Structure 1
Amino acid sequence: MAIDRPFRRTVRQFADGDYTEGGRWRYIRHPKFCTEPEHYIRAFELIQKDLFEIFDYIEPDDKNLKTYSFRIHELFIRSCIELEANFKAILKENEYQKAGTWNINDYRKIEASHFLSQYEVKLPLWRTGTKVLAPFHDWTSNGKPTWYQEYHAAKHDRHASFSKANFDNLLHSVAGLVVVLHAQFLDGPFETQGQLEISLGPSDGYEKAIGGYFKVKLPTNIPPAERYGFTWQLLEPLADPFVDFPYPI
C-alpha cells in the first residue's frame, strides 16, 4: 500500500511512477511542508554563481579534476557546510530525536527517506560533451562518500590535505547539494531570479534542477509500498497534512 500522507521536506515518486503530473507536486508549496525553502535555494544559487567563476579559470575537463587551489578549497568547504545545513533541516523538521551533535552517521539515515543514492546529476558543459555524477552512489556501501571524507580532511588540516580540495571533489559536493535540494523541492517553485538555463536537447530522463544549469535524474525504482499514494486535493485543507518520517535514533 502506498503512503497516504507526504513527509516533510521529502519529494517522492507516486504510485504510478510519476512525480509531478496533474499538479501533484503542489504539496511542496504548503507552508507546513518546510521552513523557509528560499533560504536554502538562495544559498545554493550563490554557490553555483561562484562555481561559474571557477569555470572561467579551470576548464570543465577530466584532465583538470585533480586541480586544487585556495578558491576551490573555499567553495568546497562552503558547499559541504551548506549540504550539512540541508541535512539538519530535514532531520529537525521531521522531529529527529537524537540528542547532541549530529554527524554523517545521522545524515546517512536520510537515504531511507530520500533515496539520494539513486539520483544522478548531469553537467551540461564539459570538454568531452557532458559529465554525469552520482554523488551519493556509495552512500550506503562505504558509509560516507569519498568526497565527503576528503572535505573533512581539507577542513581540519588544510596544509596536509590541501590537494583534497580539488576540482573533482568540488563538483561532487555541488552535485550533492543539487541532489539534496531536488529531493526536497524538485526544481523549486520558490526559485529566485537570475538563473542560467542550459538546453541539452532530448532529456534522456534528466530534468532541470534548481538554478537552471545542472540537470538531474530522479529515482525511478522506489519500492511501490514506499511511494506516495495520496490525493493532494483531499489533504490540502487540513491544518497539517504532513507526517514526520520515522528516522531511527
Structure 2
Amino acid sequence: MATVYVFEDKNRTFGAFWENDEGAPFMFLPHYSRVATEMSKLHGFSVTARHNPDLYDVKFPELHNLAKWNFAANGIDVDLSLVSELITPMGCFHPRVWRGIPKSPGFGGYEGVAPSPLIYSSRKQATVAATSLFSGLVELFRYVEPSSTNDHCFGHRARELLILACTEVESHWKSVLLQNMQKPPASPNLGTKDYIKLAPVLRLKEWRVTLKDYFGYRFIAPFESWDIAKPSQSLEWYSAYNAVKHDREGKFEQAQIQFVIDAMAAVHVMLAAQWGPEIHTNSFMGGFSPFHIISMPTFAPNEQYVCPSVQDGIVLNQEIPFGI
C-alpha cells in the first residue's frame, strides 16, 4: 500500500500526495476537489526547479519537491519540513471516530469521510434523540434559571432528564466501543470500566462547552475528570445518575440541575467527537443544541483521514476498527 504524505499550510489547508503502485505521483487537495489527480512533471520542474534552491530542496525526495511544485500551482505553499506520513491507511477510517479540521473564518474546514447511507442514518437518529433531550432542558430553564445559585436545585423533572441524558451517553459509548474493538467483548455486560477506553480515542477530556444563551454560566468539560481508577464515580454527573436511578427516595437530592446540564453537555460532546462539531450547526445533518463548543482537540495532519474519489464519483471509504 502506498505511503501517503500529508501537510497543512499556514491557513490550515490540508493536502496529501503519494505514488501509486505503478510509480505515478498523485496529489489530493480536498478543499478544491474530492478527486485525486496525477501530478504534472512539467519540463520546468525537471530543468529549472532542480537548479533553483527556492524551488527544489535537495534535502527532500523528488516526490516531495514535485508535490511542492504542483501544490504551489494551486496557491498552496508546502513547508516540506512539516510533511508527515499518514497514520490511517488511505481510503480507511475508524467508525464513529471523527478526525477533521473545523471551519473558521475564510476556511471551509475538512471532513475526511464522505457519509455513506449507514453513517448518515446513525448520525441522523442520534441528532433527533439529542434534539429531543435538549428541548427538555430548555423547557426546564423556563422554570429554573441556569446559574451557580440554582445549580443544586433538584426535582422530579431534573431526575427524569438526568436519567435520559445519561442513558443516551451510554448508548453512544456502547456503539462506538463495539465498532472499534479488536475482538468481540468477553462479556456482554459492558460498563464504564470498558467505556473509559474511548476517552483517549475520542480525546473526550479536551472538549469544553458552555450554554449559548446564558452568558456567565460556567464552562463545562463533562469528561475532564474521567479517571480509569474510578470510571463511574469520577464523573460526578454520572455518579449522580446511578444514585437517583437506583434509589430515588434515598438519593433524590442528587437529581440536581448542575448534573443535568453536565450530562446534556456530554451528549453534545459525544455527537461532536463522533461526527465533528458541525453536526450542531449544519441544518442539513444536525439539530438544535443549547451548547456552544469553546475548545476541542486539534488533530495533526497525519491523524486525518484521506478518502479521495477515484473515478465516477466513487469514494474510497472503508471502516477499520481503531483497535481498542
Shorter-chain TM-score range: 0.7 to 0.9
Structure richer in helix, relative to its length: 1
Deviations 1:166-222 (A, max 9, x none): 0010000000010001111223289778xxxxxxxxxxxxxxx85243111453355
Task: Tell me the TM-score normalised to structure 1 length.
Answer: 0.79
- Which stretch has the larger CA shift, 108-117 or 27-36? 27-36
Q: Are residues 1:109 and 2:186 paired? A: no
Displacement of 1:36 in angstroms is: 2.2
Displacement of 1:143 in angstroms is: 3.0
Q: Equivalent residue for 2:55?
A: none
Query: Aligned with 2:273: secondary structure?
Result: helix
Q: Equivalent residue for 1:172?
A: 262
Matches within 5 A, 1:72-221: 72-95=158-181, 97-98=184-185, 99-126=187-214, 129-140=216-227, 142-144=230-232, 145-186=235-276, 187-188=278-279, 210-221=287-298
Query: Aligned with 1:230: secondary structure?
Result: coil
Distance 1:110 1:35, change over 3 A: farther
- Which stretch has the larger CA shift, 32-41 or 49-58? 32-41
Q: Which runs of 5+ in 2 are unaligned?
A: 1-84
Displacement of 1:113 in angstroms is: 1.3
Separation (CA, whole Å) in 2 of partners of 1:66 and 1:171: 11
Separation (CA, whole Å) in 2 of partners of 1:48 and 1:189: 12
Displacement of 1:28 in angstroms is: 5.4
Separation (CA, whole Å) in 1 of partners of 2:114 and 2:180: 15
- Which stretch has the larger CA shift, 130-139 or 226-235? 226-235
Displacement of 1:30 in angstroms is: 2.4
Deviations 1:8-40 (A, max 9, x none): 011124xxxx34565632615223547522111
| Identity among equivalent pairs (%) | 23
Q: Which runs of 5+ in 1 are unaligned?
A: 194-208
Separation (CA, whole Å) in 1 of partners of 2:302 and 2:317: 21
Q: Equivalent residue for 1:55?
A: 141
Q: Equivalent residue for 2:126?
A: 40
Distance 1:137 1:28, change over 3 A: farther
Deviations 1:102-147 (A, max 9, x none): 0011111111210111000111222x53431000001136534111
Task: Tell me the TM-score normalised to structure 2 length.
Answer: 0.62
CA contact (8 A) 2:102 2:109 kept: no
Number of corresponding residues: 226
Structure richer in strand, relative to its length: 2
CA contact (8 A) 2:210 2:291 kept: yes
Separation (CA, whole Å) in 2 of partners of 1:59 and 1:190: 24
Query: Aligned with 2:218: secondary structure?
Result: strand
Q: Are residues 1:29 and 2:120 paired? A: no
Separation (CA, whole Å) in 2 of partners of 1:93 and 1:74: 29
Displacement of 1:226 in angstroms is: 6.8
Displacement of 1:82 in angstroms is: 0.7
- Which stretch has the larger CA shift, 86-95 or 53-62? 86-95
Q: Equivalent residue for 1:3?
A: 87
Distance 1:161 1:105, change over 3 A: same
Separation (CA, whole Å) in 1 of partners of 2:117 and 2:241: 34
Residue type of the alignment partner of 2:304: Y
Residue type of the alignment partner of 2:188: G
- Which stretch has the larger CA shift, 138-147 or 46-55? 138-147
Query: Aligned with 1:215: secondary structure?
Result: strand
Query: Aligned with 1:138: secondary structure?
Result: coil
- Which stretch has the larger CA shift, 155-164 or 63-72? 155-164
Higher RCO (C-alpha under 8 Å, 6+ residues apart): 1
Separation (CA, whole Å) in 2 of partners of 1:88 and 1:24: 27
Q: CA RMSD in A?
A: 2.9
Distance 1:182 1:68, change over 3 A: same
